[in-house]
Structures are given as structure tokens and as C-alpha cells.
Amino acid sequence: MEHLLGFAIPGIPYGCTYAIVAVGLVLTYQATGVFNFAFGAQAYTSAFVFTKLVQNDGFPVWLAFLAAVVVLAPLLGLAFDRFLFRKIPSTNTTAKLVTGLALFVGVPALLPVLFGNQNLYASPSIVFNPDTVYFRVLGNPINGIDLATVVVTAAVLVALVALMRFTNLGLQMRGAVESRRLVELDGVNAGSVVATAWAVSSLMAGLAGVLLAPVYGQLQAQDYATLLVGAFAAAAWATLRSMPLAALVGILTGVADTVLQGYLPSSSTLSSAVLPSLPFIVLMAALLLVPGLRRLDDATDPLASVDPPPPPTTATSRAPQLSRIIQVAWYVLLGAFVISMLSWMPKTWESVFNSGLAFSTIFLSITLITGMGGQLSLSQATLAGVGAFTAAQLASHLGLDMLAGAVAGAVLAAAVAVVLALASLRLKGLGLALMTVAAALFFDNSIFTQRSITATSSGQALNIRTSWIGLGVLDPNGHALFVVEMLVLVLCVAGVLLVRSGTIGRYLTAMRGSETAAAGIGINLTWQRILIFALSGTVAGIGGTMLALQQQTVDALQFNYQLSLAFVVIVVTTGVSTVEGAIQAGIGFAVIEQLLSYLPARFGGNSLAFVLFAAGALTYAAHPEGILEFQKRRWTLRFEHLLFPGHDPNLAFATPNGTPTTADGSDPSILSSPGRVREPRSPTGSQQRGTAPSVLSDALAGAGLAGRHGNGPSTHAGRRDSEPSIRDESTQPAETDAASTNVHPQRSDDDRR
């Protein structure tokens, strides 16, 4: 018993670090309805500024604390609220999540861009002296850091519970999460209530950041990020509802960690594999076992029906002539690219583009799972890693060709993805995001750390050797690598497009539209979901091997969870629902990174790339199709206006957003007049063009959203005219009547969910 307590005591301050962050997460969620992925970034920002002011600029500790925690932290939270989260409807979970992820990736990357790369060590402590041992509990020394963590956590917990339970403000905060508008009907200024909530929770993030800074020797964003995900576990067990419970689970996690550390033999695989992942295992367990987490996203705004429906996507409103021009232009560009790569392209840039192609392949897996499947998965880099390590190990141990190994790797990655899908069958939105991020961290800390996986049998790093491939792929003077990467990408693109335009793509489109109705017509949601996870895992696994080939090494750092998050943020910026979005993301990411390397290091190098993409992803709420996609369409429409004044894209939509149209359907022939309805896409359209290359060209030409391929209105009109409808007298009135409801400007919001 004494023994046990001896191990448990040091776990309490350690657990308090989880507890204080978990309480902050619950507070933000309770008071603003946002699961704040940026909490760790906010904490890091305050800690960074605090330490920098004290150490580099000679501020006294209290003044630096005032500036970094009391002033800066709430300001940051207010800015998040004012410029980002306030604009997102409370029911749009995905937009809230993506915005949080963009901040998670972008904010820590922004600091070195603003202040230059700085290494900050040994942050000062705000209360108590870190080096003094104040007292001993059962022989365990309690130093200033431990004491401060416990005391501040307890004080914060009491203060917050009191705030939420017993004050009017707390009541209003909780009401405002349900429906801002409902609270406002009671004469409460919901905007300011939510803003206050952000200020308070951000103050807390700052406090936690500064408090925990001395715990870490060097101040690094990663530590805060990992701490944050560990705290997710505690928050999840509390169903994001109860702060005391969150704190308790946080502390217990810490205690369990130190106790296990004490009892498990230090050399056992169990301790090397399980211990580092303990918080993530706890998180996965919560997601599997706590039923409340399945309903997190079901919260609906009672007044949501007041919202106007979102505008229609501009998917395929382009004039056919322009489509043709753009299509040809893409072919020319593609041809020029291939020829350049094979001839004059400098080696540096050839390698940059090769890595772009590999990234594009990995990003295609995000198109599959997020764009088509509608699921936000945060473990795509991990799946890529599974593919790469498998291929490399097979090559190293069995002498299997890397390209054959890629197939095996893809299969294994698909299997991992299926396990993930099975584990998260009943989760969606936030729950799924948490499950996948936990899985990614589990792999980072438990699997990709095993030497039997990350090193050759002789213990060397897994450097891709020429003998593993043949084909002269690694010949620095040849172009075989480019050819391989290009072929693989083309195959993957063709596969994705075929699935998208096929039956599975349609099922997925149906499921994204309404799961209820999809199940109601006989679609097996579970099976489709497992299938899309498997497909996504396959593509990610292939992409991972391609990346390994290009980098000529396989390293866990290439596939860690932060990259998983960054990948999603990048693809969201360029467009998650189109194949071209993934390709632009891959090439763009590689090229921008290379371009930034020419800048002075002061501008943060790689960080700036993440900042740029994060800034793009922050527009997700307004442009879920991707900001790049949005701008492209905008400019296309402008050009179109200049070139083909006859084609008016605004008329191309029979309107759901309030303006009554004349497309009342009373005369069916009106359908064939161009510009009345959206350019028709016959369900057969995509199939009429036979071969994969032409499908590819569609994507490259930006043929638009899932499963849609524009087909000229002419064919449509022709078909209609040649097939006079064989209506019976009795149905005629029904048809016109039903059609005339088209004028009704209102439509159900639920359709749009």
C-alpha cells in the first residue's frame, strides 16, 4: 500500500496538468459550443510570450504575466470568437472542427514567423520556487512546480464550477450554447455572453500555459499539443459536461501513469509501448464506452430553421465553351509538365515535384474519406506511415521489391483503417476526429517507436536502397522515379474518379445528404463507411510508400499526427471535395515549401507554409468547397461573363435561396432553354464518356463536386425533345401543380444538413 501510494503521489501533479487543460476544454465547450482544438496553441502562445518577455526583454515576472495571461490570452480568445467562431452556425460541427484544427496548426507556426525562431528554455515559475522542496509526502519531495500545479488547478476548478453553477452569467452561457437566438429572445445579449465565455476560457488557457511552462525544459509547441490531446481523454470521460469529473479523470490518468511506471518492468514491451500512449488509450476507451459522446453532434439549434439555406454550390455552372478551353489548357499544362520533368527540369525541382506527386497521392485519401465519405479523419499520415513502413520492412527483410511492397503496405493500411472504422462506427464529427487523432498518437508513441518497425534487422535506419526497387528508380540521373510516381498518381486518381461517379459514390453522396433517408432506402451505412475507410487507407498507404521512395528514407517523423492534422488543413484549403483539390494541395505544398526555403530563416521556413494553409482553412466556414476552389470559380465566372456574355451563371440556378424563379415547370419545355435550370447533369453523363483518361481530364478540368460531370445542355434538350412525354390526361394537372411549388422560396433546412 505504502508502495502504491509512493508511486501514486508524483502522479498527482502530473495528472493536474491534464486536469487543468481538460477543465478548460469543458469550459469552452460548455460556454461556447466549440471543442477548442486551439486550446493548446493558446496556452503555448501565452507561455511563449511570457517566457520571451521575462528572459529576452527583462520584464519582471508579474508584468510579463499581466501582459501574456491577463491581457493577451483573453484578447486572442475574443479575436477567435469575433472573427471566426461567431460566424459559424452552432450546428455546423465540421466547420467548427476545421477552424479549430486550422488554429491548432496555424497559431504555433505563426509565432516563429512573427518573432523568429527562438529556443526558450527554463521558463520562470509564477508562484512558488521550482527548485525548493516545500515538503515531503510519504518520502516524495514536492517542489514548487508540483505545488503550483496542484494549487492552481484546485483554485481554478472551484472558481469555474462556481461561475457556471451559481452565477447568472454561467446560466446565460449555457443557454447561449443551445441557441444564441433563443437567449436573445429573452433580452440577453448573447453575443457578449459568448464573447465573455471565450475571454474566460482563453484566460484559463493562458494561465495553464504559463503554469506548465516550467514543467518542460524547453518550450515547444509539440508538448502543449500532446498535452492537449491527452487532456481530451479526461474531457471525453466527462462527456464534455462535468468539470469536476474531467479534473478527476485527468488526475487519475496521471496517477495511473506513474503507478504503472513503478510496477511494470522498465524493459518490457508493455511499458515501452503502452505507457507513452496511456492518455490516448484512455481517450479511445472513452470514445468506445461513453454513450454520451455519440450524441455530441446531435445538438441542434431550436431556431435553426430560421436560417436561410446555404447558397448552392457553383459546381458546374461553367459555360461549355469555357469548359472545353480549360480542359484543353489543362492537357497542355500536363503535357508541358511531363515533358519538362523529363527534359530540362533542374534536379532540385524535379525532386520537389516528385514529392508533390507523392503528397497528392496521400491527399487523395483525404478526398475519399472527407470529401466523399463526409468523415473528418485525422490519421491519414499514420495510414501513409503504415504503408511505407510495411513496404520498407518487406524489402529489407524479404528482399521484396518496394513496388510490390507498396501493394502489401496498402493492404495493411486498409486493414488498419478498417479497424479504425469499426472502432468508430457509432461516432461522427467530433467523436470521429478525436478517435482518429488518438489512434494517430497511439501509433506515434507506441508503434512507430518500436525498433523492429522503424529500423532494419541490424538496427540501422530504413534508408531505401537501390537494390530494393530496381527499375533505376533511385538513379539520380534518370527520371524513373518521376514516371513511377506519376503513374501511381494517375492510377489512384482514375480509381477515385471511377468510384466517385459510380454507385458507391452515389451512395456516399446520399449519406452525406441524409443518413436517415439513405438507410431508409436500403443503403447499408455501416458497410459503406467501412468501405470508404478501407479505400482511403489503401490510397494513403500507397502514397506513403511513394513519399518514402522520394525521400529515400522511412522515418516516423514523416508520418506523425501533427502532419495528419496539417494534411487535412492543407486539403481543406484547396478543396476537399474535388480530385484536383488534392493534386493542387500536394503540388502546392511541396512547391511552397521549396519557395519558402529561399526566404531568410527569420521568416520561419516551413512554418510559413503552415500559416498560409491554416489561413486558407480558416475560411472553411464560409467556403466549405475550399477557398482556392471558390476563387477559381469566381474568376471563371468573371471570365465567362467577358467571353460569353450570353451565359448567365446566376440564372443557371433555379433558386433555393429566396428569389422566386420563373422555372415553375408549368411548361416542361422551359427546362431545355439554357440558363433556366442548372446545367443538367444526367445521371448517365459521367458514364457516357468511356475511358479513364477522359474521366481524369474531367477532374483536371475541374468538373466539380462529387460524382458530377457536366454534360452540355444540348444533349439533354435533344433527348427531351425526342422523347415526348406520354402523360395521361389525369396526371397532367398533378404535374403542373407539383411543379409550380418550385416557386416556393422556402425549403426545408433539414435537406441541407
Partner 1 sequence: MTVGDSRSSALSPPPTGRSGPDHREVHHAESPGGRGHREVHHDESPGGRDHREVHRAGQDIDVPRAPVPLLRVEHVTKRFGGIRAVGDVTFTVGRGESVGLVGPNGAGKTTLFNCICGQLRPDAGQVTLDGTLLDGLPTYKRARLGVGRTYQRAEVFPDMTVGEHLIVAERARHGGPHLWRDLCHRSAPTPAERRRVAEVLELVGIPGWEDRPVSSLGLGSCRLVELARALANEPVLLLADEPSSGLDARETHELAAVLRTLQRERGMALLLVEHDLSMVEAAVDRAIVMDLGVVIATGTFDQVMADPAVRIAYLGMGA
Binding to partner 1 (CB under 8 A) within 226-255 occurs at none
Q: Is 496 left (phi over 0), alpha (psi -120 to 50) or beta?
A: alpha
| Nearest by Cα to 4 from 253, 270, 251, 263 | 263
Q: With binding defined as CB under 8 A, does residue 722 bind partner 1?
A: no
Nearest residue (CB) to partner 1, 311 versus 646: 311
Q: With binding defined as CB under 8 A, does residue 726 bind partner 1?
A: yes
| Nearest by Cα to 578 from 379, 314, 197 | 314
Count of residues for the chain? 753
Strands 553-554, 140-143: pairing kind:
unpaired
Nearest residue (CB) to partner 1, 272 versus 528: 528
Nearest residue (CB) to partner 1, 178 versus 184: 178
Q: With binding defined as CB under 8 A, does residue 95 bind partner 1?
A: no
Nearest residue (CB) to partner 1, 552 versus 742: 742
Nearest residue (CB) to partner 1, 89 versus 312: 312
Q: State which of residues 6, 191, 320, 513 lies at the interface with partner 1 (CB under 8 A).
A: 513
Q: How far is CA 626 from CA 435, 582, 657, in A?
A: 25, 11, 21
Site for partner 1 in 440-459 (CB under 8 A): none
Among all chains, which residue has been given the C-alpha cell 512573427?
Answer: 114
Q: With binding defined as CB under 8 A, does residue 465 bind partner 1?
A: no
Q: State which of residues 106, 108, 656, 702 lies at the interface with partner 1 (CB under 8 A).
A: 656
Q: State which of residues 292, 308, 470, 502 lies at the interface with partner 1 (CB under 8 A).
A: 502
Distance between CA 437 and CA 48 in Å, rounded? 25
Distance between CA 493 and CA 539 in Å, rounded? 10
Q: With binding defined as CB under 8 A, does residue 522 bind partner 1?
A: yes
Please report, for the chain, how many H helices and E strands are present, in that order. 32, 4
Q: State which of residues 548, 653, 700, 702 lies at the interface with partner 1 (CB under 8 A).
A: 653
Q: State which of residues 171, 290, 490, 523 lies at the interface with partner 1 (CB under 8 A).
A: 523
Distance between CA 25 and CA 247 in Å, rounded? 11
Q: Kindly report the three-state secondary structure assignment for every residue of 390-449.
A: HHHHHHHHHCCCHHHHHHHHHHHHHHHHHHHHHHCCCCCHHHHHHHHHHHHHHHHHHHCC
Nearest residue (CB) to partner 1, 303 versus 519: 519
Distance between CA 476 and CA 590 in Å, rounded? 19
Considering only the stretches 20-28, 237-245, 291-299, 742-750, report the one whose residues sit in contact with partner 1 under the rule CB under 8 A. Answer: 742-750
Q: How far is CA 198 from CA 79, 86, 89, 202, 279, in A?
A: 9, 11, 16, 6, 26
Rounded to whole angstroms, the maximal C-alpha distance in the chain is 95
Distance between CA 728 and CA 726 in Å, rounded? 6
Interface map 303-322 toward partner 1 (x if CB under 8 A): ---------xx---------
Q: State which of residues 531, 542, 611, 617 lies at the interface with partner 1 (CB under 8 A).
A: 531
Q: State which of residues 5, 425, 692, 712 lies at the interface with partner 1 (CB under 8 A).
A: 692
Q: With binding defined as CB under 8 A, does residue 699 bind partner 1?
A: no
| Least distance between partner 1 and beta carbon 593 (Å) | 33
Q: Any idea what the Cα angle at residue 239 is, between residues 235 and 241, rounded to 5°?
A: 85
Q: With binding defined as CB under 8 A, does residue 678 bind partner 1?
A: yes
Q: State which of residues 298, 307, 667, 751 lies at the interface with partner 1 (CB under 8 A).
A: 751
Q: With binding defined as CB under 8 A, does residue 295 bind partner 1?
A: no
Asked if residue 448 lies in contact with residue 558, where contact means CB atoms within 8 angstroms, the answer is no
Q: Any idea what the Cα angle at residue 222 is, between residues 197 and 585, rounded to 5°?
A: 90
| Least distance between partner 1 and beta carbon 676 (Å) | 10
Considering only the stretches 73-81, 244-252, 386-394, 649-657, report the one whose residues sit in contact with partner 1 under the rule CB under 8 A. Answer: 649-657
Nearest residue (CB) to partner 1, 594 versus 715: 715
Coil, helix or strand for 553? Answer: strand
- Cβ neighbours of 184 (radius 10 Å): 16
Nearest residue (CB) to partner 1, 124 versus 513: 513
Distance between CA 44 and CA 50 in Å, rounded? 10
Q: With binding defined as CB under 8 A, does residue 373 bind partner 1?
A: no
Q: With binding defined as CB under 8 A, does residue 47 bind partner 1?
A: no
Considering only the stretches 62-70, 102-110, 238-246, 525-533, report the one whose residues sit in contact with partner 1 under the rule CB under 8 A. Answer: 525-533
Q: With binding defined as CB under 8 A, does residue 745 bind partner 1?
A: yes
Q: With binding defined as CB under 8 A, does residue 189 bind partner 1?
A: no
Q: State which of residues 499, 539, 587, 701 lies at the interface with partner 1 (CB under 8 A).
A: 499
Q: With binding defined as CB under 8 A, does residue 492 bind partner 1?
A: no
Q: With binding defined as CB under 8 A, does residue 290 bind partner 1?
A: no
Q: With binding defined as CB under 8 A, does residue 746 bind partner 1?
A: yes
Nearest residue (CB) to partner 1, 180 versus 716: 716
* Burial of 525 from C-beta contacts in 10 A (0-12 / 13-18 / 19+): middle
CA atoms within 13 A on the CB side of 532: 30
Nearest residue (CB) to partner 1, 266 versus 730: 730
| Nearest by Cα to 42 from 15, 16, 69, 81 | 69
CA distance between the termini of the chain: 55
Q: State which of residues 416, 438, 441, 518 lies at the interface with partner 1 (CB under 8 A).
A: 518
Contacts of 345 by beta carbon, 8 Å cutoff, 6+ apart: 353
Q: With binding defined as CB under 8 A, does residue 747 bind partner 1?
A: yes
Q: With binding defined as CB under 8 A, does residue 658 bind partner 1?
A: no
Considering only the stretches 16-24, 345-353, 435-443, 662-670, report the one whose residues sit in contact with partner 1 under the rule CB under 8 A. Answer: 662-670
Q: With binding defined as CB under 8 A, does residue 163 bind partner 1?
A: no
How is 181-192 classified by DSSP, letter by letter?
HHHHHTT--HHH
Distance between CA 556 and CA 564 in Å, rounded? 12
Q: With binding defined as CB under 8 A, does residue 677 bind partner 1?
A: yes
| Least distance between partner 1 and beta carbon 710 (Å) | 11
| Nearest by Cα to 42 from 131, 106, 90 | 106
| Least distance between partner 1 and beta carbon 318 (Å) | 15
| Least distance between partner 1 and beta carbon 484 (Å) | 21
Distance between CA 200 and CA 194 in Å, rounded? 10
Considering only the stretches 270-278, 425-433, 508-516, 618-626, report the one whose residues sit in contact with partner 1 under the rule CB under 8 A. Answer: 508-516
Rounded (10°) CA dihedral 297, 302, 304, 306? 180
Q: State which of residues 98, 234, 407, 663 lies at the interface with partner 1 (CB under 8 A).
A: 663
Q: With binding defined as CB under 8 A, does residue 706 bind partner 1?
A: yes
Nearest residue (CB) to partner 1, 186 versus 729: 729
Asked if residue 38 lies in contact with residue 98, where contact means CB atoms within 8 angstroms, the answer is no
Nearest residue (CB) to partner 1, 340 versus 688: 688
| Least distance between partner 1 and beta carbon 683 (Å) | 5
Distance between CA 408 and CA 413 in Å, rounded? 9
Asked if residue 734 lies in contact with residue 725, where contact means CB atoms within 8 angstroms, the answer is no
| Least distance between partner 1 and beta carbon 734 (Å) | 3
Q: With binding defined as CB under 8 A, does residue 659 bind partner 1?
A: no
| Least distance between partner 1 and beta carbon 724 (Å) | 10
Q: State which of residues 86, 181, 506, 623 lies at the interface with partner 1 (CB under 8 A).
A: 506
Nearest residue (CB) to partner 1, 60 versus 683: 683
Site for partner 1 in 571-610 (CB under 8 A): none
Q: Grid coordinates representing 58?
A: 527583462
Number of residues that bind partner 1 (CB under 8 A): 82
Q: With binding defined as CB under 8 A, does residue 731 bind partner 1?
A: yes
Asked if residue 102 lies in contact with residue 614, where contact means CB atoms within 8 angstroms, the answer is yes
